[in-house]
Structure 1
Amino acid sequence: MTCASPEHPAPGGLFVPPIAVPLRTIGGRRFDFSRQIAVMAIINRTPDSFYDRGRTFALDRAVAAAVQAVLDGADWVDIGGVPFAPGPELPLAEELRRVVPVVEALAAESDVVISVDTFRSEVAEAAIAAGASVINDTTGIHDPRLADVVADSSATLVITHSRAEPRKPFPRPQYLDVAGEIAAFLSARIDFALSRGIPEERLIVDPGHDLNKNTAQTLELSRRLPEVAALGFPVLAAMSNKDFIGETLGRDKADRLAGSLAAASASVLLGARIVRMHDVVASVDAMRMLEGILGWRDPVHAVHNV
């Protein structure tokens, strides 16, 4: 499919991002991000995650949820041991204890892409050794050594826009040009990652919906997502059940599925190729339906009026 620019979208309003390396081997799976949407499931091994509030904190529950996500069709499972939200520092040994056993157990069960949500180079190194093939750093490579760890492996790095120190508050964020500033930040961090030896085919960008941004800023970022996709890297949209959805709709966390699916679908039409979602079954169906509408996949059955 022909690439389009933010100023000149493809017919039908679809923005087709000019991904420099759309064909990716990540872990044991192959993706073509020129015509494929990956669904990333979320496993939080934390007692205080913003959405599930400890539902998968116990090791057996975390592993079971990860395996179920694969059975439900997830392409990717993201495992985290520390919330993004401000809070006290978690000891390194505790983060390792939370994350590594889940990675090991899932890697033994499946070839699904496993990512670990961490900003610590030590955790990244241990997670990769345990079977993770992606490091999902929500701090924009706050720890420079994390880039070195990824460079020395075959893992992929997700570079996310955020402005706060890890686990520190960032009250009343201000932007003169929210999407432009985010794209510039990501471009600079991409250059840094490349300078540390991570090849472009192992980089993904995430504009950080809600991360150090208020609802109005996140909505504008969402509208202007093509400016981020135009950087030429696959875009991860992590927006499931976030506060900008709740505030836009006036919905509590338990009632944000419809808004999350709408936001994820819009993000794909505006250039995202990976969506990070809590409800795997509904999200997989929504993304596969989008692929069908866009002509990227054939129906499972095609007997109606045949």
Structure 2
Amino acid sequence: MHQAGELNIDMALFRCEQMLQEGAAIIDVGGESTRPGAEPVGVQQELDRVLPIVNAIHKRFDTIISIDTSSPELMLEAAKVGAGLLNDVRALSRPGAIEAAAATGLPVCLMHMQGQPQTMQQQPDYGNVVREVIDYLLARVASCEQAGIERSQLILDPGFGFGKSVEHNLVLLNRLPQLVAQGMPVLVGLSRKSLIGKVLGREVDQRLAGSLALALLAAQRGASIIRVHDVQQTVDAISLWAAVDREMVAGSE
């Protein structure tokens, strides 16, 4: 068991170094899958999976470590070993989570999800998906502020693929500037999502082009943070767009 743990840490450090060399600015570490249909993980198991890796990354690399968790226990413990950002798909809705997040003093990413991972993709339903996502996130922002977490410490994530149909996802991406207009940084995770498979008919290992297209569209619509699997390719695509965009601005002056 000890040897397996060391192997996992070595693999994580190798992957972390690779992503940083490719241009990643944040390394996201999680111990519980939140894919559609995923089963929950016990708190102790989540702690055992995440803390040694966070500690090892923090000791070796100068980077921001994001903790993908909804567990207040992990939020508190991860902050002690080098975490720099809390990323919660449940937007600090678990009992004790908002108090734990406030106690860490760390920035927090709040994500919208309709339902729970086990059932969220069965029948997602909205009257107005853009309005409902924004209203939910703003309500969570208000709760955070009441708990002592300043708005300047908050990041918003519309939760693509978390209780949303293909149409819901497409509308949310198209109207992303409405979420950006709320004045907080927006994080977008679209890399390899089933949306790409359903629109293009591509399996997971054939979704690079689709992932790059969506990352670029998100950046153009104001997203500040793009969560991806294919770091180098995404960095290249967005860097080229940024270079052209700067040239257009310079040319218009």
Task: Report the TM-score when normalising by structure 2.
Answer: 0.90
1:64 equivalent in alignment to 2:14: yes
Structure with greater helix percent: 2
Q: Which residue pairs with 2:211 in the alignment?
A: 260
Q: Report if the CA contact (8 A) 1:133-1:154 is conserved.
A: no
Distance 1:239 1:182 in 2: 16
Pick which of 128-137 and 167-176 moved more.
167-176
What one-letter code is carried by the residue in structure 2 that aligns with 1:148? Answer: E
1:145 equivalent in alignment to 2:145: no
Q: Report if the CA contact (8 A) 2:75-2:104 is conserved.
A: no
Q: Report if the CA contact (8 A) 1:210-1:218 is conserved.
A: yes
Distance 2:17 2:50 in 1: 15
1:121 equivalent in alignment to 2:51: no
Distance 2:52 2:13 in 1: 9
For residues 114-135 of structure 1, the C-alpha deviation after alignment (integer angstroms, 9 at most, x for no partner) is 1010010001111111101101
1:79 equivalent in alignment to 2:25: no
For residues 137-176 of structure 1, the C-alpha deviation after alignment (integer angstroms, 9 at most, x for no partner) is 00122224222222222311000000224x4313211111
Distance 2:76 2:132 in 1: 30
The secondary structure found in structure 2 opposite 1:212 is coil
Q: Which residue pairs with 2:250 in the alignment?
A: none
The secondary structure found in structure 2 opposite 1:58 is helix
- State the number of aligned residues: 239
Q: Which residue pairs with 2:164 in the alignment?
A: 213
Q: Which residue pairs with 2:202 in the alignment?
A: 251
Distance 1:216 1:71 in 2: 36
What one-letter code is carried by the residue in structure 1 that aligns with 2:13? Answer: V
Q: Which residue pairs with 1:28 in the alignment?
A: none
Q: Which residue pairs with 2:251 in the alignment?
A: none
What one-letter code is carried by the residue in structure 2 that aligns with 1:269? Answer: Q
What one-letter code is carried by the residue in structure 2 that aligns with 1:160? Answer: M
Q: 1:175 aligns with which of 114, 126, 134?
A: 126
For residues 80-117 of structure 1, the C-alpha deviation after alignment (integer angstroms, 9 at most, x for no partner) is 11011333331211111111111111111122111010
Distance 2:44 2:9 in 1: 16
User: How large is the Cα RMSD of the aligned pairs?
Assistant: 1.5
Q: Percent identity?
A: 33
Q: Which residue pairs with 1:99 in the alignment?
A: 50
Alignment of 1:42-53 (within 5 A): none
What one-letter code is carried by the residue in structure 2 that aligns with 1:67? Answer: E
Between the two structures, name the one with larger relative contact order (CA 8 Å, sep ≥ 6).
1
Q: Report if the CA contact (8 A) 2:9-2:56 is conserved.
A: no
Q: Give 4+ residue runs of structure 1 displaced > 3 Å after superposition.
A: none
- The 1:144–1:195 alpha-carbon spacing in structure 2 relative to 1, beyond 3 Å, is farther
Alignment of 1:189-204 (within 5 A): 189-204=140-155
Q: Unpaired segments of 5 or more residues in structure 2?
A: 1-6, 248-253
Distance 1:187 1:197 in 2: 15
What one-letter code is carried by the residue in structure 1 that aligns with 2:63? Answer: V
Deviation at 1:58, TM superposition (A): 2.8
Deviation at 1:262, TM superposition (A): 0.6
What one-letter code is carried by the residue in structure 2 that aligns with 1:58? Answer: N
1:186 equivalent in alignment to 2:137: yes
Deviation at 1:290, TM superposition (A): 2.3
Q: 2:237 aligns with which of 269, 286, 293?
A: 286
Q: Report if the CA contact (8 A) 1:139-1:163 is conserved.
A: no
What one-letter code is carried by the residue in structure 2 that aligns with 1:234? Answer: P
Distance 1:200 1:223 in 2: 25
Q: Which residue pairs with 1:155 in the alignment?
A: 106
Q: Which residue pairs with 1:301 in the alignment?
A: none
Q: Report if the CA contact (8 A) 1:67-1:106 is conserved.
A: no
